[in-house]
Structures are given as C-alpha cells and as structure tokens.
C-alpha cells in the first residue's frame, strides 16, 4: 500500500505519563502504517521542559504559529509535589497557558458521540461545543474587604491624568466586600473572531450569551463586539454556509440548551464557560471522550484531549500492570490535526484518512470493544461490552480501519 504523503509538517508536542505511552502506540499502530507522517517534534515531557528551562514550550507554540497546525499530548502542570517528584529547577507554568498566551486563542471543547454512551439529557443527539473566552473577568480581578462606614469607588484615570469617579457602594450599615474586574475590546474581538472562524470551519450554528440586560456596559460590550463583527465580516459567509449566529440572554440560553438536540457551538464569557463546560462534559458521559482545540484569531489550530495525563493509571503501568486507559480523545486530537493539515494543503486523502480513523474508533466502541471507563457506562440491548487493555483497544481500532 502507498502511504499518504504530507506536504507541511504537523507540530507534534509529546507529553507526560500515561498519555505519553498512548501517544507512541497511536502513532505506531494507527497512523504511521497509513501516513508518511511528517512532524516537527517538540518534547513537552516535564523532564525536557525542566532541561530547557521551559523554552521548548514557547518554541512549540511559535512553531504552531509558523505552520498553523499542532497536536499536543497531555502534560503535567507542576505543583509542589511534582517539583519534588521530578526534582525540578522551578515550578514551571502550565504548558497550555503558555501556548495560549503565544497563540491568543479560544478553546473549543467537543464531546465524541457514540451509540451506547448516552448523554444524561436524553434530547441531546449531537455534540454541544463549548467556546470559553479565556481572558480576564473574575480570573484577573482585584478584591477587597471594606470596613463598616467605608466607601468603595471606581476611579478611571485617562492618559492625561483626568479622573472619573463613580461610587460603587457606601457601607454605612455593614462591613462588606468589593471586586473590580476588567476586559479589553481587543481580547473580546479575538474571541469573537475565533468563534466565527470555528463555526464556519465546522459548519455549525454559533450561539452566544451574556447577561447584557443587567450588565449594561460590561456584558453589553461583549454582545456589541460580536454583533458588529458578524454584521461587517461574517454574515455573508454564514449565509453561504447555511449556518446562523444567534445571541440570547444567558438564562434563556441555558433553558434552550437543555431542551435542544445539540449540534451547535455555545460561546461563553470566561466564568460562564468554566462552569458550563464542566456541566456539558459531565452530561455527555465521560471526560475521556472530550476533545479540545485551541483556535487563534489568525487561524492557527492546536488539537488535544481535554483530559490530563491519567497519573493513577501510569503508576500502575510502572508497576508492570496492564491499564485500560481510553485513547479516544487523543486519537481524535490526531485526526483533527491531520484533517486540518489536509484541508490547508489540499490533500484529500489525508482528510479521508482522518474520517476513516474516527469512524473505525467509534465503530470499535459501538461493537462492544472498549476500555474500562466506557464499559462502566455503556448501555445496549444487543451488545455486551468487552473490556480491553490500552494497547488491545488501539489494535481493535486498527483492525477496523
């Protein structure tokens, strides 16, 4: 068989622990037999990040910017315990945070849907993709406690030193609390660009919701930025693609989401996205079936699984035990990246291969061959789930390609 040829390399970011083990198996068993794989490899494993003073993470992010498409394995974000465990020079920052800062992107999380793993909300038939604005708001706020009799004011000083003062609250009868948070129009615009781009890419409707009726300047600015960008730049393309942009108040959106059958992108402000993504992921069944893609406003893509390095399984693996770790989301990170590379370089065979690999992975589970986490929630009248170990599951997919 002739292997599918690639033109531009994929930026490949290797990672840690159990997902690093899966990464190698996926490449060897599911991809390299069919694709003449061309990657620019960056080892983001914690040891190498420490060895390079974390420069490798920045280099990988820069490479994503240069080539446009990257695929990333889950990585450890070190805490005090990891600093000891790996004898690190420093408590390095989250690689995902570093990559996001370089690419300035929005993260889209989408569940993989298979028959037998049914969402907790029975009307959901298609994925609901959550887009979370990952800048500002309560995550970069300033908070204070205020004593009784005190007063909190909002002071805005312009470049020439002119001050505008607004009273927030006078704490005449009780002590209390106050917080200040911010956002920038540039960041909101980047967020909106990424959302419109991703909607066009995936040919899905885009929903956006805030609390603009109550927050008449803050949230309303989000609404206005989205509306203006849609009218001036994306409306025609949306009409041609047969998709729509829909804005509604967040309470109304929540009610509609629960009643919907899915199949759209739901864009949310930072805090709303934090909360709603956990709700949606849980309701779709399993974190191990959740994929994630970072899309930058200038059109760079970084694909990964939403879950972590599955540490508990890795320690078993190190003890020589067989693990049954689910590789679906990591496989879909690879197929997402290969398909995008195929689209950008005009290699139809590469896109078709990505489709086939995804279909084979879904069929494997639907025919009853799956990892332990899925077997525990699999429901079917005529298929009895068989639990496979990590490698057996990947080989079962290979048989079906």
Residues making contact with ligand NAP (CB under 6 A): 74-77, 96, 287-288, 304, 307-312, 325-326, 373
Give the separation between CA 353 and CA 350, rounded to whole angstroms: 5
364 Cβ partners below 8 Å, 6+ apart? Answer: 370, 393, 396, 397, 400
Q: How far is the CB of 157 from Mg ion (least distance, A)?
A: 34
Give the separation between CA 218 and CA 216, rounded to whole angstroms: 6
40 binds Mg ion (CB under 5 A): no
Closer residue to Mg ion in complex, CB, 116/273: 273
**What does 311 interact with, of ligand NAP, Mg ion, none (CB < 5 to 8 A by kind)?**
ligand NAP
Q: How far is the CB of 276 from Mg ion (least distance, A)?
A: 9
274 binds Mg ion (CB under 5 A): yes
Would you put residue 246 in left (φ > 0), alpha (ψ -120 to 50) or beta?
Answer: beta
Q: What 3-state DSSP class applies to 96?
A: helix
| DSSP 8-class letter at 234 | I
**Residue holding tokens 């003890």?**
319
**Residue holding tokens 């450890």?**
76
Q: How far is the CB of 290 from Mg ion (least distance, A)?
A: 12
Q: Residue from 32, 252, 278, 355 that binds Mg ion (CB under 5 A)?
A: 278
**What does 309 interact with, of Mg ion, ligand NAP, none (CB < 5 to 8 A by kind)?**
ligand NAP
Give the separation between CA 172 and CA 53, rounded to whole angstroms: 52
SS3 content of the chain, % helix, strand, coil (to 5): 45, 20, 35
Closer residue to Mg ion in complex, CB, 209/277: 277
Q: How far is the CB of 86 from Mg ion (least distance, A)?
A: 26
Q: How far is the CB of 165 from ligand NAP (least distance, A)?
A: 43
**What does 278 interact with, of Mg ion, ligand NAP, none (CB < 5 to 8 A by kind)?**
Mg ion
Answer whether 203's CB lies under 8 Å from 243's CB: yes
| DSSP 8-class letter at 223 | H
The piece of 200-208, 210-218, 276-284, 354-362 that touches Mg ion (CB under 5 A) is 276-284
Q: How far is the CB of 391 from ligand NAP (least distance, A)?
A: 13
Number of shown-chain residues binding Mg ion (CB under 5 A) = 2
State phi, psi for 272 to the nearest 5 degrees.
-60, -40
The piece of 103-111, 215-223, 227-235, 274-282 that touches Mg ion (CB under 5 A) is 274-282
Binding site for Mg ion (CB under 5 A): 274, 278
């Amino acid at each position: 068989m002739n292997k599918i040829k690639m033109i531009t390399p994929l930026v490949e970011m290797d990672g840690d622990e159990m997902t690093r083990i899966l990464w190698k198996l996926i490449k060897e068993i599911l991809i390299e037999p069919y694709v003449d794989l061309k990657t620019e490899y960056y080892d983001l494993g914690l040891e190498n990040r420490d060895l390079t003073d974390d420069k490798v993470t920045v280099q990988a992010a820069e490479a994503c910017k240069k080539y446009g498409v990257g695929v990333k394995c889950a990585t450890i974000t070190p805490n005090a315990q990891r600093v000891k465990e790996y004898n690190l020079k420093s408590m390095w920052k989250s690689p995902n945070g570093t990559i996001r800062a370089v690419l300035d992107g929005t993260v889209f999380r989408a569940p993989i849907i298979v028959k037998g793993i049914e969402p907790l909300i029975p009307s959901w038939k298609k994925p609901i993709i959550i887009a979370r604005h990952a800048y500002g708001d309560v995550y970069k706020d300033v908070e204070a406690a205020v004593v009784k009799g005190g007063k909190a004011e909002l002071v805005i000083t312009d470049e020439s030193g002119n001050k505008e003062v607004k009273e927030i609250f006078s704490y005449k009868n009780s002590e209390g609390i106050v917080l200040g948070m911010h956002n920038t129009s540039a960041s909101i615009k980047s967020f909106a660009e990424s959302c419109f781009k991703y909607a066009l890419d995936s040919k899905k409707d885009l929903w956006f919701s805030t609390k603009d009726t109550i927050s008449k300047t803050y949230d309303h600015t989000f609404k206005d930025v989205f509306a203006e960008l849609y009218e001036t730049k994306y409306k025609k393309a949306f009409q041609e693609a047969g998709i729509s942009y829909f804005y509604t108040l967040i309470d109304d959106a929540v009610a509609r989401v629960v009643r919907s059958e899915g199949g759209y992108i739901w864009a949310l402000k930072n805090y709303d996205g934090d909360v709603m993504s956990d709700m949606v992921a849980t309701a779709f069944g399993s974190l191990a079936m959740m994929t994630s893609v970072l899309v930058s406003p200038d059109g760079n893509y970084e694909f990964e699984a939403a879950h972590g390095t599955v540490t508990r399984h890795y320690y078993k693996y190190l003890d020589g035990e067989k693990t049954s770790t689910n590789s679906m989301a990591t496989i879909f990170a690879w197929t997402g990246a290969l398909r995008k590379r195929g689209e950008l370089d005009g290699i139809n065979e590469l896109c078709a291969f990505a489709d086939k690999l995804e279909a084979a992975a879904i069929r494997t589970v639907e025919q009853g061959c799956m990892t332990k986490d899925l077997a525990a929630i699999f429901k079917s009248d005529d298929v009895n789930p068989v639990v496979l170990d990590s490698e057996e599951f990947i080989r079962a997919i290979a048989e079906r390609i």
